[in-house]
Amino acid sequence: MIAAALPLLFVAACVKVRAPGPRVALHEWSGVFDDYSRLQPGGTGDIAFVYRNPAAQWTTYDAVLLEPVTLWRSGRDSLAPIPEADLLQLVTRFDGAIRHRLGTGFRLVDEPGRGVLRIRLAITAARESDKGLDVLTATPEGAPAGGDAHIGAELMKFIDAAAIEGEVRDAVTDELLAQGVDRRKPDAPHFTTWADLDRALAFWADRVCTRLEKRTGHRP
For the chain, residues with pLDDT lower than 50 are 1-26
CATH of 2-215, one of 1.10.10, 3.30.160, 3.40.50, 1.10.1060: 3.30.160
Is residue 72 left, alpha or beta, with left meaning phi > 0 and alpha meaning psi from -120 to 50? beta
Predicted pLDDT at 4? 34
pLDDT, tens only, 19-45: 444 444 435 677 788 888 899 998 887
Would you kindly state where each structural domain of the chain is located, as residue ranges? 2-215
pLDDT score, position 140: 60
Q: What pLDDT score does 80 carry?
A: 83
